[in-house]
Structure 1
Amino acid sequence: MQSAVLLKIKTLESSFTTSEYEISRFVLDNPDFVITNTITTLAKKINTSEASINRFCKKIGYKGFNKFKIALAQSNIQFDKISNEEIDESNIMEYITADYKKMLASTCALLDTQHIDDAASLITLSRKIFINSVYNTSFISDEFAFKLKQIGLDVTSLKENLEAQLAIENMNSDSLLIAVVPSVISKDFIPFLSNIKKKDVKVILIASNDNPKINDLIDIKFLTPDHVMADNPLVLTNSVMISLIFDMIYATILRDNKGLRQKKMSSDTIINSFQAADSAIYEW
């Protein structure tokens, strides 16, 4: 698995121009050279312009080359620290935990705090929220839907393609769609987003890959590192990374809205009282 900044570049490659793709290839293959050299030296090495490199850095979320170089260096140091931890591969707990540490660190590096704030704002301002999830992402999406219902928000979970298509008729400009999909190139997904866009519905996307075709169809995008890049792809799940994003958004909602925070506390009190009542049945 690569460091978070390199992973971000790789995730966005499909949206790069030819020039940006050449820069990305060099950065991915030679991160140490990028970190230890000036933009002038790098431009000569790749046979491109300094302006092209700065545009590339801005496209992947940094204000310029220096900001990008610092982030790359910090990301590599953090990743190397985790990677260099002595792991006993015969100890399954250590082995699996090491993979999750890398993936969670990479997820955090891919996140934009402004996107977290914007997502929290969209959720609280929407009159109707639809969460569209498929396959294994539906379990973690159901949990987030339950948390939103705890604070009084109107949430509908959509898990089947027909169910999602029919729901479009109940969406309008006051609605929000949260789409949680393993891949944005899943069958019928882009056409589905196109139909959503026609009704001026706001869209938050969480996915493990990117596609430039969807940029005009969504409002906020969160990318997570795919578990297939880890050492244990047959065992790991992307649910942990998705849950991290959901929890950050939820924490922001509760932080910024005292009324919703109070509703959450009241809801927890009711849930705890039911749990206490159920457990009393088994006490002797």
Structure 2
Amino acid sequence: MLSILSTIQEKIEEFSRAERKVAQYVLDNFEFIINSTITDIANNAKVSEASVLRFCKTIGIGSFKAFKLALVRELDENTLNINDFSLLQAKDSAYEIFNKVTYINKYTLEMTKTSLDKKELEKAIGLISNAKRIAFFGVGGSGPTALDANYKFVKLGFSTLNSLDFHAMLSLIANLEKGDILIALSTSGKTKDVLEVVRFAKKFDAQIIAITSLEKSPLYNEADVKLCFPNFEKDHRVGSIASRIAQLNIIDTLYLKTFHIVGTKVIDKYQNAREEVLKLRR
């Protein structure tokens, strides 16, 4: 039995009548809660949204968002930690691994919807659409995502800066000015190279957008805008899986919304590039 459910069962007598309805609904429909809104649960349990919030506080959790994240962290360890070193002891077939990877990727995207702050997302879009230069930096598993972001935004006509080399990146960051942006990617938010680049960029009055996990970290504290996703992955892992999917999803969102804003200015250039690509196909 998962501890969050055990807590609910142990406190069942402490709940008010309305809270007990919420508790019973959660116990009976645990697998659906993570993809539900507070309105969904209130309607299905036939209570008010305020009752759902009181239920969360009764079990010691301050908000509905925190409640959903608590449920996520208590999922089956074999499912959530598919890229942990424990995988070496698993007897899953290739297709079983495929199913688990698919599940955790879908799950990550659903839970990113819960952890991503809408106001922070809008703030990020505002900064990006008015920037002259955008720098992207990440190391390790976050490096390829930063490279992908750089590729996307350069097509929108932005002057972009990116390097996987720390020392080269410092030279690029020195070109930033007030109003420019550094988008820093780090799941842990503790990667030394990323933090050093961030602190160097702030010397030139660059705005910092962090794409990182929801847990408080040095990067989280340094950032002007925080675009967060749940961190399902352990330190000892065979590779970045869920975190990479979350990062790419956020980058794609920033890219598409920015395209909607500046698209009329670049659509002809997009078309010219497309026609040239078609001519050069072999």
* Range class of TM-score, shorter chain: 0.5 to 0.7
Task: Give the Cα–Cα distance (whole angstroms) in 1 for the partners of residues 162 and 219 of structure 2.
Answer: 22
What secondary structure is seen at the aligned counterpart in 2 of 1:180?
strand
Query: What residue in structure 2 maps to residue 272 of structure 1?
Result: 274
Query: What residue in structure 2 maps to residue 164 of structure 1?
Result: 169
- RMSD over aligned CA atoms reads 3.8
Query: What residue in structure 2 maps to residue 133 of structure 1?
Result: 138
Unaligned runs of 5+ in 1: 3-25, 47-52, 58-66
What secondary structure is seen at the aligned counterpart in 1 of 2:182?
strand
Unaligned runs of 5+ in 2: 12-18, 24-50, 80-91
Q: Residue 267 of structure 1: CA displacement?
A: 3.6
Query: What residue in structure 2 maps to residue 243 of structure 1?
Result: 248
What secondary structure is seen at the aligned counterpart in 2 of 1:183?
coil
Q: Which amino acid aligns with 1:172?
A: E
Task: Give the Cα–Cα distance (whole angstroms) in 2 for the partners of residues 235 and 253 of structure 1.
Answer: 27
Task: Give the Cα–Cα distance (whole angstroms) in 1 for the partners of residues 258 and 263 of structure 2.
Answer: 8
Query: Is the Cα–Cα contact under 8 Å of residues 168 and 196 in structure 1 kept in the other structure?
Result: yes
Q: 1:233 to 1:172 in 2, by over 3 A?
A: same
Q: Which amino acid aligns with 1:262?
A: T
Q: Residue 271 of structure 1: CA displacement?
A: 3.3
Moved over 6 A (4+): 26-29, 37-45
Task: Give the Cα–Cα distance (whole angstroms) in 1 for the partners of residues 118 and 214 of structure 2.
Answer: 19
Query: What residue in structure 2 maps to residue 262 of structure 1?
Result: 264
Answering whether residue 95 of structure 2 is matched by residue 91 of structure 1, we say yes
Q: Which amino acid aligns with 1:265?
A: I
> In percent, how many aligned pairs have the same letter?
17
Cα displacement string for residues 227-265 of structure 1 (whole angstroms, at most 9, x for unaligned residues): 536xx965835322111101111222233x2xx212443
Q: 1:31 to 1:219 in 2, by over 3 A?
A: farther
Answering whether residue 205 of structure 2 is matched by residue 200 of structure 1, we say yes
Task: Give the Cα–Cα distance (whole angstroms) in 1 for the partners of residues 59 and 104 of structure 2.
Answer: 34
How many residues matched?
224
What secondary structure is seen at the aligned counterpart in 1 of 2:140?
coil
Q: 1:234 to 1:176 in 2, by over 3 A?
A: closer
Q: Which of 176, 182, 187 is matched with 1:177 structurally?
A: 182
Q: Residue 116 of structure 1: CA displacement?
A: 1.8
Query: What residue in structure 1 maps to residue 117 of structure 2?
Result: 112
Answering whether residue 160 of structure 2 is matched by residue 155 of structure 1, we say yes
TM-score normalized by the length of structure 1: 0.63
TM-score normalized by the length of structure 2: 0.64
Query: Is the Cα–Cα contact under 8 Å of residues 189 and 218 in structure 2 kept in the other structure?
Result: no
Q: Which of 217, 222, 230 is matched with 2:222 structurally?
A: 217
Task: Give the Cα–Cα distance (whole angstroms) in 2 for the partners of residues 272 and 45 of structure 1.
Answer: 56
What secondary structure is seen at the aligned counterpart in 1 of 2:188?
coil
Q: Residue 178 of structure 1: CA displacement?
A: 0.6
Q: Residue 146 of structure 1: CA displacement?
A: 2.0
1:47-86, aligned counterparts within 5 Å? 56-57=62-63, 72=68
